[in-house]
Amino acid sequence: MQQETSDRNAVMHIDEVAQYQAGRYISSNEAIWRILSFPIHERSPAVIHLAVHLENGQRVYFTASNVQQRALNPPATTLTAFFHLCQNDAFAKTLLYSDVPTYYTWNASRKVFERRKRAIANKVLNQLGMPSPTRSAAASFDVELRREQNYNIMDLSSYVSSNIPKLTLEQKGIYDKIMQTINSGNGKIFFLDAPGGTGDFRQTLPVIPRSTPADEINASLKRSALWQHVKTLKLIKNMRVQLQNDRSAEIFSNQLLDIGNGKVPVDLTSGKISLPHNFCNLVTSKGELVERVFPDIQTNFKNPNWLSERAILAAKNKDVYQLNNVIQSRIQNETVTY
């Protein structure tokens, strides 16, 4: 493509392909999806579009070089290919046009129907009960109401009855308190604080731009006017640790609770805490960390299963970038930028 400027002697060449490649953005999610060789294009359920048109009324694409050839001999459509199939296949004569994809597949490159060899297709799209893909149809459904109405009360009751005997004494006590509130018709808000991740407050404070630490604390749920109406329930025993019957797991769990409860001394100068030596495997550099998590990455980086079993997490993006650079520097192969 050329673009003429006000100067008749100056011609600016525009490379649209290069502009598209330079402007295309691929997120980290899509990049790792491609690196791990996950499928890119899928459709469920698989759908084939059957053309419907009058005789010689199909849409034809042509260029200046093949306009005459396309006009005299236009490419076949699924409809014209169906007519040709019926002339040469006795079984196809017994089928309706909409039934052909059940027993034949459409070869888009050759523009012909080919008999299925390994399986048969599903129903016609309008027989699957699928809603029309329009905004008005989607907006007309009350999704939350339909979700509530679609619960199977008998299945849920059976599930509850079979799992109540499995509750521990602590869990049974909390279950009874909540069910008593429900059966009495008195509304109440419960907060369950328990080991193993139940939405507790040992997490990052709310992020408020250009604020002070006091502002972040005041924005937390515990400073809300609703918190006085919340009934806090606690589970003390970590059942996951008990079921493992592993002494080291119990020690690690208690150390996590000590950190979350603020029992570990904090260095007033740096604001950091010192982890116990038996808390985790300590490393002295990013290079050692990479070697521990990704050993012999030079030969294993092409194994998607090996890569999916390990990861390094960091609190800040700058540390993530540095770790990525360390890992990539150890891989001797042709680089690809997405």
Token pair 């990013």 is found at 286
| The pLDDT of residue 300 is above 80 | yes
Measured at the CA of 77, the angle between CA 74 and CA 80, to 5 degrees, comes to 90
Extract the tokens encoding 177. Answer: 């308190």
pLDDT of amino acid 318:
92
pLDDT of amino acid 319:
92
pLDDT of amino acid 278:
80
What is the average pLDDT value for the chain, to the nearest integer? 83
Distance separating the N- and C-terminal Cα atoms of the chain: 25
Q: Which amino acid is at 19?
A: Q
| The pLDDT of residue 102 is above 80 | yes
Predicted confidence band at 173 (pLDDT cuts at 50, 70, 90)? very high
CA–CA separation, 178 and 90 (whole Å): 68
Token pair 């236009």 is found at 74
pLDDT of amino acid 61:
86
| The pLDDT of residue 305 is above 70 | yes
Predicted confidence band at 289 (pLDDT cuts at 50, 70, 90)? very high
pLDDT of amino acid 133:
59
Closest CA relative to residue 201, chosen from 130, 136, 260 = 260
Q: What is the pLDDT of residues 121-135, one digit of tens each?
A: 666 656 656 555 566
pTM: 0.42
| The pLDDT of residue 186 is above 90 | no
User: Running DSSP on this structure, what letter comes out for residue 221?
Assistant: G
With b for 16 or more beta-carbon neighbours within 10 A and e for fewer, the 87-101 pattern comes to eeeeebeebeeeebb
List, in sequence order, every residue forming a beta bridge with 4; answer none if it has no partner: 11
Q: What is the pLDDT of residues 198-240, one digit of tens each?
A: 555 666 667 788 888 888 888 887 888 888 888 988 888 877 7
Extract the tokens encoding 76. Answer: 């076949």
Closest CA relative to residue 255, chosen from 289, 281, 280 = 280
Residue bearing the bigger pLDDT, 32 or 334: 32
CA–CA separation, 35 and 331 (whole Å): 14
| The pLDDT of residue 317 is above 60 | yes
User: Taking residues 272-301, what's their average pLDDT?
Assistant: 87
